[in-house]
């Protein structure tokens, strides 16, 4: 699975969790001006909203709606947190990384009562632990979980947790920022009320807006809950439904690019096709990194294929900044680590990348290992 022979930009490939490398055709789709009330743009917004439902395997007919929100992924997470928990409600946040932590922090900022269920950063959330808290605390009204905790790359069991959340009749919020579009799951079997992601993750658009796929009945029941004006999820949906327009200046060019990105996702075989490419990127990279003597942070059976955290080698000559800069100088962008209990760096497999890119990165890493005089022992890698 090599990169198709299409014109490619001279920019460095981004092996990061975002912003991500996008195709030339996605970038070129933006080179236009359209007014926010232009019929073509309004029709495109409607089309994009419908396509996102389709990607999730749900439809308006089944009672689901897409709300687009200006801003990066954090903005739509905050829109949900600040708009859907009732005034006297309580949000249970499942935390095994910094994006779960951020949800709890947002709730505190908005004076929403919070409870937490924690797991170590190298372990998935335990559904039984969620059930225990729900059983013990009647005040909880909503539950939030991160799908792929991008801090480490771990995938959380959103379906098992969702079944429990439904059993206890709570509202269920899934932050699927770095997974949606490239991880297959059954939206309805997961019992999701709100799922969020952004334009510039696995759908491979450019940054600038984010979106929530909402169960309409849940959304309609949130009247009067919003704690902000601009991030009011219900008002944003009503605006989009009313005249097809955003309430405030729309991210026109980002939507133009996203429309093209959705067409490219379809052409690739939808979620299954994209998952296959990202998995191939991951498998190629992991095998090569292990052969060089780098070890991943997560146990193999928990490692997702979207982003991988690698432990710093024990060789005292290893300095991340030096490693990063040398790779950058050779034309490859990787990312610092984010887990709190180990020194790691991260390599993303998402965006417009192919196994041929993983192989090129491996060559560059091998050269940098030599330049830095690192002594790595592949035999030490479990
Ligand atoms: C799981 C998750 N949630 C939220 C965010 C925040 O998104 P953004 O950085 O686009 O605001 C990210 C970003 O990588 C993420 O991975």
Site of tokens 């759908």: 203
What's the confidence (pLDDT) of residue 157? 98
- What pLDDT score was predicted for residue 3? 67
At 159, which CATH number? Answer: 3.40.640.10
Q: What confidence tier does 56 reach under pLDDT thresholds 50, 70, 90? A: very high
| Shared-domain flag, residues 74 and 196 | yes
What is d(CA 7, CA 359) in angstroms, rounded to the nearest whole number? 20
- DSSP conformation letters of 133-199: HHHH-TT--EEEEESEETTTTEEP-HHHHHHHHHHTT-EEEEE-TTTTTTS---TTTTT-SEEEEET
Do 252 and 105 lie in one domain? The reply is yes
List of residues 6+ apart from 316 with CB closer than 8 A:
none
Atom of ligand 1 nearest to the CA of 74: 11
> What spacing in Å lies between the alpha carbon of 73 and ligand 1's midpoint?
5
pLDDT tens readout for residues 235-280? 999 999 999 999 999 999 999 999 999 999 999 999 999 999 999 9
Asked whether residue 20 is assigned to any structural domain, the reply reads no
Q: Is the residue at 142 inside a domain? A: yes
Q: In angstroms, what is the span from residue 364 Cα to ligand 1's centroid?
A: 28
- Gap between the Cα atoms of 125 and 295, Å rounded: 23
Distance CA(203)–CA(19), nearest Å, equals: 12
Tell me how far apart the alpha carbons of residues 234 and 226 are, in angstroms, rounded to a whole number.
8
- Point out the ligand 1 atom lying closest to the alpha carbon of residue 200: 10
Residues 122 and 77 in one domain: yes
pLDDT of residue 381: 82
361 within a domain of the structure (yes/no): yes
Confidence (pLDDT) at 74: 98
- Indicate the residue among 266, 292, 319 that finishes a domain: 266
pLDDT for res 355: 98
The pLDDT of residue 28 is above 90: yes
Please tell me whether residues 182 and 196 are part of one structural domain: yes
> pLDDT category, 4, cuts 50, 70, 90?
low
370 and 227 co-located in one domain: no
pLDDT at 224: 98
Q: Is the pLDDT of residue 302 over 70?
A: yes
Percent of the chain with pLDDT over 70: 97
**Alpha carbon distances (Å) from 369 to 292, 322, 327, 333, 356:** 9, 11, 10, 16, 20
pLDDT at res. 10: 80
Please report, for the domain that includes residue 313, its CATH number.
3.90.1150.10
Domain boundary among 233, 266, 299: 266
For residues 52 and 195, membership in a common domain is answered with: yes
Confidence of residue 377 (pLDDT cuts 50, 70, 90): confident
In a domain, 44, yes or no: yes
Q: Which residues pair with 215 in a beta bridge?
A: 64
Residues 233 and 101 in one domain: yes
> How distant, in Å, are the alpha carbons of 104, 109, 114 from that of 141?
14, 18, 10
Per-residue DSSP letters for 319-333?
A: -HHHHHHHHHHTT-B
User: Per the domain annotation, does 344 fall within a domain?
Assistant: yes
Residue 208: closest CA among 71, 79, 74, 34: 71
Give pLDDT tens digits for 107-136: 999 999 999 999 999 999 999 999 999 999
What's residue 6's pLDDT?
55
Kindly give the distance from the C-alpha atom of residue 370 to the centroid of ligand 1, in angstroms, as a whole number.
34
Judgement on whether residues 294 and 245 belong to the same structural domain of the protein? no
Nearest to 208 by CA among 44, 19, 37: 19
pTM above 0.75, yes or no: yes
Instruction: Note whether 261 and 329 are same-domain residues.
Output: no
- Domain span at residue 356 reads 270-380
Burial per residue of 201-213, b for 16 or more beta-carbon CB atoms within 10 angstroms, e otherwise: bbbbbbbbbbbbb
Query: How far is it, in rounded angstroms, from Cα 306 to Cα 211?
Result: 20
End-to-end CA distance of the chain: 27
57 is a domain residue: yes
> For 60-114, how does the pLDDT look when each residue is reduced to its tens digit (9 = 90+)?
999 999 999 999 999 999 999 999 999 999 999 999 999 999 999 999 999 999 9
Q: What is the pLDDT of residues 152-189, one digit of tens each?
A: 999 999 999 999 999 999 999 999 999 999 999 999 99
- Count of domains observed in the chain: 2
Q: What angle do CA 172, 249, 216 make, to 5 degrees?
A: 25
Assess whether 297 and 374 both reside in one domain. yes
By most ligand atoms within 8 Å of CB, the mutation choice from 16, 18, 106, 212 for ligand 1 is: 18
Instruction: Name the token pair of 341.
Output: 């209990």
Residue 3 contacts residue 213 (beta carbons within 8 Å): no
pLDDT score, position 301:
93
Residue finishing a domain among 212, 244, 266:
266
Residue 12 phi, psi (nearest 5): -70, 140
In the prediction, which pLDDT does 5 show?
A: 57
Average pLDDT of 368-379? 95
Within a 10 A sphere around the Cβ of 325, how many other Cβ atoms? 12
| In a shared domain, residues 214 and 157 | yes
Q: How confident is the prediction for the chain on average, in pLDDT?
A: 96
Does residue 6 belong to any structural domain of this protein?
Answer: no
Whether 7 shows a pLDDT value over 70: the answer reads no
CB atoms under 10 Å from CB of 268, counted, come to 15
- Residue 198 Cα to ligand 1 middle (Å): 8
Query: Using an 8 Å Cβ cutoff, are 279 and 306 in contact?
Result: no
Among 178, 203, 346, residue to substitute to test ligand 1 (most atoms within 8 Å of Cβ) = 178
Over 70: is that where the pLDDT of 229 sits? yes
Closest to 159 (Cα-Cα) out of 134, 130, 119: 130
Q: Quick check: is 53 in a domain? A: yes
Q: Which residues line ligand 1 (CB under 6 A)?
A: 17-18, 72-74, 77, 99, 146, 150, 175, 177-178, 198
**What angle separates helix 320-329 from helix 355-371, to the nearest 10 degrees?**
120
199 with 279, same domain: the answer is: no
């Amino acid at each position: 699975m090599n990169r198709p022979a299409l014109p490619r930009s001279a920019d460095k490939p981004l092996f990061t969790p975002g912003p991500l490398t996008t195709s030339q055709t996605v970038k070129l789709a933006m080179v236009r001006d359209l007014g926010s009330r232009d019929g073509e743009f309004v029709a495109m917004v409607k089309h994009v909203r419908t396509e996102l439902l389709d990607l999730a395997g749900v439809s308006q007919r089944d009672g689901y709606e897409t709300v687009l929100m200006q801003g990066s992924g954090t903005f739509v997470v905050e829109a949900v947190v600040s708009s859907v928990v009732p005034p006297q409600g309580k949000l249970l946040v499942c935390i095994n990384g910094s994006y779960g932590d951020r949800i709890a922090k947002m709730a505190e900022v908005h004076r929403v009562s919070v409870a937490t269920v924690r797991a170590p950063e190298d372990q998935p959330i335990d559904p039984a632990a969620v059930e225990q808290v729900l059983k013990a605390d009647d005040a909880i009204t909503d539950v939030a979980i991160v799908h792929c905790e991008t801090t480490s790359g771990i995938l959380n069991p959103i379906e098992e947790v969702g079944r429990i959340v439904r059993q206890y009749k709570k509202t269920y919020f899934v932050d699927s920022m770095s997974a949606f579009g490239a991880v297959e799951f059954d939206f309805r079997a997961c019992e999701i009320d709100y799922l969020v992601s952004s334009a510039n993750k696995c759908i491979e658009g450019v940054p600038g807006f984010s979106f929530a796929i909402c169960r309409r009945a849940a959304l309609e029941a949130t009247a009067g809950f919003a704690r902000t004006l601009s991030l009011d999820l219900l008002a944003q949906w009503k605006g989009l439904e009313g005249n097809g327009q955003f309430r405030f200046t729309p991210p026109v060019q980002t939507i133009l690019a996203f429309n093209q990105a959705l067409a490219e996702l379809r052409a690739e075989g939808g979620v299954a096709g994209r998952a296959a490419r990202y998995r191939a990127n991951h498998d190629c990279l992991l095998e090569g990194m292990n052969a060089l003597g780098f070890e991943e942070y997560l146990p193999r059976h928990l490692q997702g294929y979207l982003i991988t955290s690698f432990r710093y080698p024990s060789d005292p000559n290893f300095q991340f900044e030096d490693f990063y800069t040398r790779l950058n100088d050779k034309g490859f962008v990787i990312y610092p680590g984010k887990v709190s209990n180990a020194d790691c760096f991260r390599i993303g497999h998402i965006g417009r990348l192919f196994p041929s890119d993983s192989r090129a990165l491996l060559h560059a890493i091998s050269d940098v290992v030599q330049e830095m005089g690192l002594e790595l022992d592949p035999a030490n890698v479990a």
